Amino acid sequence: MTFFPRTVRAPEKLRKRRGRHGVLSRMSIQSKLLLMLLLTSILSAAVVGAIGYQSGRSSLRASVFDRLTEIRESQSRQLETQFSDLKNSLAIYSRGNTAAEAIAAFTAGFAELDAATINIGQAASLRRYYDRMFADMTLDDGGNRVDVRALLPKSNPQRYLQALYSAPFENWERAIEFDDARDGSRWSAANARFNEFFREIVHRFEFEDLLLLDTDGNVVYSAYKGPDLGTNILTGPYREGQLTEAYEKALASNSIDYVGVTDFGWYLPAEEPTAWFLSPVGSQDQIAGVMAVQFPISRINDLMTAKGQWRDTGMGKTGETILVGPDDLMRSDSRLFRENREAFVSDVVDGGTPPEIAEESIDRRGTTLVQPVNTESVEVAQRGNTGALIEDDYLGHQALQSYSPVDLPGLHWVIVAKIDTDEAFAPVSQFTRTLVLSTVLIIFAVCLAAMLLARLFVRPIRRLQTGAQQIGAGDYEVNIPVWSRDEFGDLTTTFNDMSQNLAIKEKLLEEQRAENERLMLSLMPEPVMRRYLDGEETIAQDHNNVTVLFADVLGLDDLSHRLTSEELLVVINSLTRQFDAAAESLGVEHVRTLHDGYVAACGLNTPRLDNVRRTVDFAIEMDRIVDRYAAESGYDLRLRAGIDNGAVSSGLVGRSTLTYDVWGATVDLAFRVQRGNPQAGIYVTARVYDVMHDTLEFVAAGESAGEHGTEPVWRLRGHPQ
């Protein structure tokens, strides 16, 4: 009988319970905990992140605007204070008795020079002075080339004063220190009396110059005695400028309390854009003239650029503060122009500036009165408004700009502090990235915890494995950080000790190899050494055009009887080192050194077309070395050298003791020429004589037996000593 098994069915309630909770029931506790932490972290991170993002972004943007505005206000206050201090100081100096007495004395002395003359030498010196002064000043106000002839002084007082006080000096720093030409004139007497007073004003306030002008427009005094000394600003070559207009206003004010200020402009005697401070000089009843001080743009640039220390003032990599005049032209230099002129030209042209204007900035060596700034911030500030905005700057870069007018009476300037938005809002972008990244990290932190623990457990082993692979590849500088104090930490420490020992041994081997190569290079040329190290045993080479020199020092044998061996070795080593240095500088190869002789060749391993000339020059230099050493030491030493040109052979001789040597008929003849003459001197064969007799003087010195019979020998005479 066959029996079939009966299917056993689960109770109905149990099946429903499994269906309702089947997914959760199949999850492990670790997975459930991971899911709970994940959901909690997502919700909390989302809420905190949204609140932090809005609050942080608003605070960071506001701080950037505030910092830029603070820098702008600080620069503006410093500028206004500087101008105010200068105006007050000028008013004090100009209304004093010293200034009034000075302008009266200089005016009287200037008037007496109408009939003064200068001699021909002074006239020539004056012309050279103008050529020198205006050599680099190639552009006038309109950007045209300057004609120096049109600037030469015409009036007698101007010619006379510049001939005595300007032309004799190479620079203005010396001219301002010169008080009296001792020519007996009243002008020189006035200069001797008052020059120190005005010189102190110029130095104290770092003015470019200080001028005294009479009521007829004559520059009767200049502190630096430049080319404007003696000129007339109403009719002279410098009449086209702001100085003339400001001078007329100062006289028209008829008040010694008046202080006028000009905008920056081009003034030919100056090397950079110049502004003027002017104040009448005299009494309340009568104005005797005007004192004008020359204010250089470098003072403004030092203030606006913090002398190049933009980063220290909080301007970062791209921030700067600029001044702009009513003509929309800069009144200070661009930061990018100072840091990288090529990049400046490229950026301003890309930003819309015509290329010829960008190139003019290069010619003028600055952007003042050249570079236009046609931005909305400048336009708004010129209307008297203060604020901040984001727009493209004069470089074409989007920038955060804080602007305001500058409170300087008579000057309609605006100040703009700017910084590229990429840099300005970098903290905001960084904050956003950090917030997003931290949120993501929080979300995945719980999920990665278990995986990281496993990886942390095996990480020391993997570090050791990587370190062993690096050592196997020849890198013995491996040092694995020790992160724990357990067995893995002890094993890592032992591994690092092994790595250090291997590195020390490898370093010692490298030093030994380098020392071996250095010693071999002292015995043979580098190409021969490389062939020897490559395993060649027989190394020899024929050379067709080589000049060989045999030389010895006469007198060393006599010294050997008078000196100890150590003292004699000092003499030989001193001469040999100097010979080696001369050979290296002239391209001559040292072959070997004997106790009283020296063998060298040129064109041996390095072919040279002028090897004969080099060898003869080397022999002459050896002769100088011996003569100089003999004169310094008092020893009776002289050089005897023989030189021949032709074919030679070279190579390594010996096995246990290697010697690099040259041989052949040319070598033998050079030796016989040298040894065959008992007197000191430089002896050459006919082949050397044929090459060098056109440039050096030789005399016949007998004959010597050569490969092809008897050959004449020549002795060098009259070489430079």
Q: For the chain, which domains are there?
A: 95-209+217-251 (no CATH), 526-717 (3.30.70.1230)
pLDDT value of residue 654:
61
Residue 312: DSSP 8-state:
G
pLDDT at residue 7, rounded to an integer: 43
C-alpha dihedral, 675 to 680 to 681 to 683, nearest 10°: -20
3-state SS, one letter per residue, for 534-603: CCCCCCEEEEEEEEEEEEEEECHHHHHHHCCHHHHHHHHHHHHHHHHHHHHHHCCEEEEECCCEEEEEEC
382 Cβ partners below 8 Å, 6+ apart?
Answer: 326, 405, 412, 414
Pair type for strands 681-685 and 638-653: parallel
CB neighbour burial string for 652-688, b if at least 16 within 10 angstroms, e if fewer: beeeeeeebebebebbbbbbbbbebbeebbbbbbebb
Query: Which pLDDT score is estimated for 486?
Result: 76
Cβ-defined contacts of 237-244 (< 8 Å, 24+): 237/150, 237/151, 237/268, 238/267, 238/268, 238/269, 240/141, 241/141, 241/265, 241/266, 241/267, 242/276, 243/267, 243/276, 243/278, 243/292, 244/217
DSSP character string of 144-162: PPP-HHHHS--SHHHHHHH
Q: List b or e across 366-388, with b for residues whose CB sees 16 or more CB atoms inside 10 angstroms.
A: bbbbbbbbebebbebbbeeebeb
Which of 220, 162, 228 is closest to 186 using CA atoms?
Answer: 220
The C-alpha R_g of the chain, in whole angstroms, comes to: 44
Sites in the chain below the pLDDT cut of 50: 1-10, 14, 18, 28-30, 33, 138, 720-721
User: What are the helix and strand counts (H, E) for the chain?
Assistant: 24, 17
CA angle 319, 324, 328 (to 5 degrees): 120
**For 482-518, what is each residue's pLDDT tens digit?**
777 777 777 778 877 787 777 777 777 777 777 666 6
- Count other Cβ atoms within 10 Å, centred on residue 533: 11
- Three-state helix/strand/coil letters over 295-306: EEHHHHHHHHCH
∠ CA(535), CA(540), CA(545), 5° rounding? 140
For residue 107, what are the β-bridge partners? none
Instruction: Specify which residues 211 forms β-bridges with.
Output: 222, 292
- The tokens for 300 are 């403004």
Determine the Cα angle at 595 with ends 594 and 596, to 5°: 90
Could you give the dihedral angle defined by the CA atoms of residues 407, 412, 415 and 420, in that order, rounded to the nearest 10 degrees? 160
**pLDDT at 426 (0 to 100):** 76
